């Protein structure tokens, strides 16, 4: 049976409540905590963007998030891939969870990510860290055409020009080294300032 801790699983969504606790396909928080020290976990991640009529990236979106500690930081759309779930289903689920049901994200035709971010609990192995776990995240650029209404613990979605998104202060605010992921995303679309 699933036991929720005060620091909620950031992957938990209201839909989770409907899942039978005994479903062998998902882990309880306690089981997840154990597994987190044993296996790399698979994540998907999205850099939301706005495009102009010719497909040029004009803006990048970041989530402003309040952590349980009260600390504020910025992050991208990201979350775990569940057992039996396709990458596209996971990407869509996390986009809807983080940007709301009216964001109308356009998932890319190709399942090949623009970058693979390796998050380690200890710094120095890669540009990315996650003190909870070793996670490997497939990162996609996802054009968003609708209106974003962040749910859960996200305070707002901030849209920035490529130049604004790459300012050192903002890069430093991005959780777990995701500023590097934003720069990689912009480079892959020819928009790195």
Q: Quick one: 30 or 66, whose CB is closer to a second copy?
A: 30
Do the Cβ atoms of 126 and 143 come closer than 8 Å?
Answer: no
Name which of 13 and 137 has its Cβ closer to a second copy. 137
Nearest distance, CB of residue 21 and a second copy, angstroms: 13
Nearer to a second copy, 138 or 157 (CB): 138
Closest contact distance (angstroms) between CB of 134 and a second copy is 5
Q: Which is nearer to a second copy, 18 or 54 (CB)?
A: 54
**Distance of alpha carbon 188 from alpha carbon 139, whole angstroms:** 12
Residues that bind a second copy in the complex, under the rule CB under 8 A: 24-27, 31, 35, 37-42, 49, 51, 53-57, 81-89, 92, 106-116, 118, 120, 125-127, 134, 136, 138, 141, 143, 180, 183-184, 187-190, 192
């Amino acid at each position: 049976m699933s036991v929720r801790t005060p620091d909620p699983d950031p992957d938990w969504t209201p839909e989770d409540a409907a899942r039978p606790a005994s479903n062998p396909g998902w882990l309880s928080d306690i089981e997840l905590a154990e597994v987190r020290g044993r296996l790399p976990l698979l994540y998907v991640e999205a850099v939301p963007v706005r495009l102009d009529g010719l497909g040029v990236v004009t803006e990048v979106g970041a989530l402003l998030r309040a952590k349980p500690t009260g600390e504020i930081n910025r992050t991208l759309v990201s979350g775990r891939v569940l057992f039996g779930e396709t990458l596209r289903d996971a990407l869509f689920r996390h986009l809807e969870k983080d940007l709301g049901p009216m964001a109308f994200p356009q998932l890319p035709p190709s399942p090949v990510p623009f970058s693979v971010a390796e998050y380690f609990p200890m710094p120095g192995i890669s540009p990315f860290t996650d003190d909870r776990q070793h996670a490997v995240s497939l990162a996609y650029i996802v054009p968003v055409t609708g209106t974003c209404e962040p749910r859960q613990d996200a305070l707002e979605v901030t849209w920035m020009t490529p130049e604004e998104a790459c300012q050192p202060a903002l890069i430093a605010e991005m959780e777990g080294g995701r500023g590097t992921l934003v720069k990689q995303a912009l480079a892959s679309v020819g928009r790195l300032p």
